[in-house]
Structure 1
Amino acid sequence: MKALMLTRYERSGASSRLRLIQYAGPLGLQGMSSSLQPFFDDNYLRRLYSGSPTLATTLVAYARRAGQLIRAGHADIMWLEKEALPWLPWALECAMLPRVVPLVVDYDDAVFHRYDLHPSAAVRRLLGRKLDRLMASASLVTAGNCYLADRAKMAGAQQVEIVPTVVDLTAYTLRPDTFSASGPTIGWIGTPSTWTEYMAPKLPLLTQAAEAAGGRIAAVGAGRAAAAYPLLDNLPWTEESEVMRIHEMDIGIMPLTDTPWARGKCGYKLIQYMACGIPVIASPVGVNAEIVEHGVNGLLASSDAEWAEALQTLLRDANLRARMGEAGRRKVERDYSLQVWGPRVAQMLRDVASTGKSR
């Protein structure tokens, strides 16, 4: 059986790597082959994060995807990340999608809000229900949390399964039990856009807490969005070094604002921290409140006062950090690992392919 993975990005794109690409190994163990065909290449993503995407690279991406769809009929199942043709209307995408191949669509973000909550009335009118129609046409929709799954059900999807974003436990090892003479580190991992929206407003509070504890703040992946700030270490992200960077943290954080877009997030950075045995502090928005068991594997905080208290609690108590970190690791092993979800996802795809249902 052959699965065609139509991703948004190559491995450098976190959502593509984690939601589809990392399942190639588990699919292979189940006797299934997979073919990766991204919309954008890594060159586009580098340009995007550097603030210099070009029209030419975007047009090349659309031409590439058109060719992929034309040749997709050879696959036994088509596994699509989010949508096939971003920013193009449903009528065109529907016409391009092969009708003879069962379709599975995956969502780990509330990307439908990019259209239905767009400030332009024209965009809302043309694209506002596009992804609902795509979900309704699919044989299976996999969603990273309940918020996304509920949208798929309301759209009339035939079958909806919640599949969390998971880590490979062979790569995400426990943090070494080493002593740091420099004091505890408050850590965050993400992208420039999420830094600007969620972390930058918290910097004064975080700096005050770190300074009082004789510690520092580590930001991994924020790039140029993270301006020079007292006690802030702005560190580059690479796939090869991300676990090492998390091992250097003592507390992992995930602040969010309660918005429709944030409710669609899948809490992956929390799962990364917990997999390494790091206690967490998070805003109780969306799936965060399910991943974090308050007082067990981390702390939930809404207001600035609650954030300050949570930071102070964990910064001053290394034993509590260790206990919460151990509890977090156990939860990841049980609920958020590729070792658990790989066979499950492979079976979902096999079941869809075996029904032979086409669009």
Structure 2
Amino acid sequence: MKILFLGRGGNHPATRYRITQYLDYLKQNGIEYALEFFPAGFFGWLRLVRLAGNYNAVFIQKKRIGNFWLWLFRRRGCKIIYDIDDAVMFNSSRHSSPDSPGRMKRFVKMVRASDFVIAGNKYLRSLVEPHNKNCAVMPTTIDMKKYPAKDYESTGTGACTIGWIGGGKSIVFLNEIMPVLEDLAGRFDIRLKIVCNTFTESGRLEIIKKQWKEEEEAADILTFDIGLSPLPDDPWSKGKCATKLLQCMAAGIPTVSSNAGVHPDMIKDGVNGYMAGSPQEWMEKISILINDSIKRREIGLSGRKTVLDLYSVEANAPGLLKILS
């Protein structure tokens, strides 16, 4: 089987987590492939169409491609596999309304034109299936070789580091719970570490600002004592695949996350993480972990096992191979 992967860019998270980290496994199991990125102009697309003639299928990541190019790919004898890990059919949480008729129309056309759709979570699958029954869930996954477990034996006794890692557009979600963190700073010896390219400020809480770098993110997460994953409860957020939450769990970091989106599918409250809705719940759940280092270890290592069993490359690679074969 020969697959032409079309990704969003070499450093784009969706490409790294849903294509690149599987390529060695696929090659070892008989899949020949090429990885290309979406071109900017007509002649770039024309080059891809010509290239596609050498492959059995085109794996298209997230982008809704025009019917003309899909038709040309089919004329070259290619099946269309569409991979979606975001609610591209809705406006983001920054908009006043999630509804976007144009986005939904393009999404439906792309799904109907595909031979198979890979959805990043059950919510996305529920939006795909009315238009294409050939759909399976494959979660965004973590390469566990990159994430050693936190060494709790050598953890110090100083300030408790509460950590958040994410993209610049998502820091608004952290800002929503900043009043909780500032109140906690008046009761406990804590500091907030932000790993991002954009930062927030506080006059009541010590903030460590760390520029995000791909090659350093696993080491940065290991400096957390508690990981946070706040998220609004809206259609766009339900399509998220919780990569940053999974990264913290993979490293054995205990987490507190919003009871929203895909989080309830991943977290059993009080077992492999905590979930919170109201400010009071955020306060209570974070306080439990600040106060109890043994609980931090138990929750963190349970979360790591969840990732190993269900959300790791190793656990999901055979399923992707079956789809592509």
Q: State TM-score, norm by structure 1.
A: 0.83
Q: 1:261 to 1:75 in 2, by over 3 A?
A: same
Residue 220 of structure 2 corresponds to residue 245 of structure 1: yes
Residue 318 of structure 2 corresponds to residue 343 of structure 1: yes
Once the two structures are TM-superposed, the CA of residue 228 in structure 1 deviates from its matched residue by: 3.3
Contact 1:69 1:98 in 2 (8 A): no
AA in 1 matched with 2:62: K
Residue 228 of structure 2 corresponds to residue 228 of structure 1: no
Residue among 113, 116, 136 paired with 1:140 = 116
Q: How far, CA to CA, are the matches of 2:5 and 2:157 in structure 1?
A: 46
Q: How far, CA to CA, are the matches of 2:212 and 2:167 in structure 1?
A: 9
Q: What is the aligned partner in structure 2 of residue 328 from structure 1?
A: 303
Q: How far, CA to CA, are the matches of 1:119 and 1:93 in structure 2?
A: 33
AA in 2 matched with 1:255: P
Contact 1:279 1:322 in 2 (8 A): yes
Q: How far, CA to CA, are the matches of 2:169 and 2:256 in structure 1?
A: 20
Q: 1:219 to 1:30 in 2, by over 3 A?
A: same
After superposition, the C-alpha distances for 1:201-251 in whole angstroms (9 at most, x for unaligned) are 222212322452212111112x23x13334111211122111101100011
SS in 2 for 1:289: helix
Residue 40 of structure 2 corresponds to residue 71 of structure 1: no
Q: How far, CA to CA, are the matches of 1:187 and 1:280 in structure 2?
A: 9
Residue 89 of structure 2 corresponds to residue 109 of structure 1: no
Q: 1:272 to 1:79 in 2, by over 3 A?
A: same
Q: 1:33 to 1:212 in 2, by over 3 A?
A: farther
Q: How far, CA to CA, are the matches of 1:301 and 1:75 in structure 2?
A: 47
Once the two structures are TM-superposed, the CA of residue 180 in structure 1 deviates from its matched residue by: 2.7
AA in 1 matched with 2:118: T
Residue 11 of structure 2 corresponds to residue 5 of structure 1: no
Task: Return 5+ residue gaps in structure 1 as ranges.
Answer: 41-59, 351-359
Q: 1:38 to 1:339 in 2, by over 3 A?
A: same
SS in 2 for 1:23: helix
Q: How far, CA to CA, are the matches of 1:75 and 1:21 in structure 2?
A: 18
Once the two structures are TM-superposed, the CA of residue 332 in structure 1 deviates from its matched residue by: 1.1
AA in 1 matched with 2:255: V
Residue 278 of structure 2 corresponds to residue 279 of structure 1: no
Residue among 161, 166, 173 paired with 2:141 = 166
Q: How far, CA to CA, are the matches of 1:68 and 1:4 in structure 2?
A: 9
Q: Which moved more, 1:156-165 or 1:69-78?
A: 69-78
AA in 2 matched with 1:26: Y
Q: How far, CA to CA, are the matches of 1:337 and 1:113 in structure 2?
A: 28
Matches within 5 A, 1:207-222: 207-221=182-196
After superposition, the C-alpha distances for 1:170-203 in whole angstroms (9 at most, x for unaligned) are 111101222234311111111000112x112222
Q: Which moved more, 1:199-208 or 1:291-300?
A: 199-208
Once the two structures are TM-superposed, the CA of residue 70 in structure 1 deviates from its matched residue by: 4.0
Once the two structures are TM-superposed, the CA of residue 71 in structure 1 deviates from its matched residue by: 2.6
Q: How far, CA to CA, are the matches of 1:314 and 1:96 in structure 2?
A: 55
Q: What is the aligned partner in structure 2 of residue 18 from structure 1?
A: 17
Residue 274 of structure 2 corresponds to residue 294 of structure 1: no
Once the two structures are TM-superposed, the CA of residue 61 in structure 1 deviates from its matched residue by: 6.0
Q: What is the aligned partner in structure 2 of residue 53 from structure 1?
A: none
Q: What is the aligned partner in structure 1 of residue 164 from structure 2?
A: 188
SS in 2 for 1:104: strand
Q: What is the aligned partner in structure 1 of residue 155 from structure 2?
A: 179
Q: How far, CA to CA, are the matches of 1:131 and 1:137 in structure 2?
A: 10
Once the two structures are TM-superposed, the CA of residue 28 in structure 1 deviates from its matched residue by: 1.0
Q: How far, CA to CA, are the matches of 1:62 and 1:237 in structure 2?
A: 34
Once the two structures are TM-superposed, the CA of residue 140 in structure 1 deviates from its matched residue by: 1.1
Q: How far, CA to CA, are the matches of 1:317 and 1:347 in structure 2?
A: 44
Contact 2:86 2:239 in 1 (8 A): yes
Q: What is the aligned partner in structure 2 of residue 206 from structure 1?
A: 181
Contact 1:39 1:61 in 2 (8 A): no
AA in 1 matched with 2:21: Q
Consecutive aligned runs of 4 or more in structure 1 exceeding 6 Å deviation: 117-120
AA in 1 matched with 2:4: L
| Matched pairs, number | 319
Matches within 5 A, 1:27-42: 27-39=26-38
After superposition, the C-alpha distances for 1:149-183 in whole angstroms (9 at most, x for unaligned) are 011102x2141110011111111110122223431
Contact 1:72 1:98 in 2 (8 A): no
After superposition, the C-alpha distances for 1:53-85 in whole angstroms (9 at most, x for unaligned) are xxxxxxx46653453234322112111101254
Q: How far, CA to CA, are the matches of 2:46 and 2:95 in structure 1?
A: 26
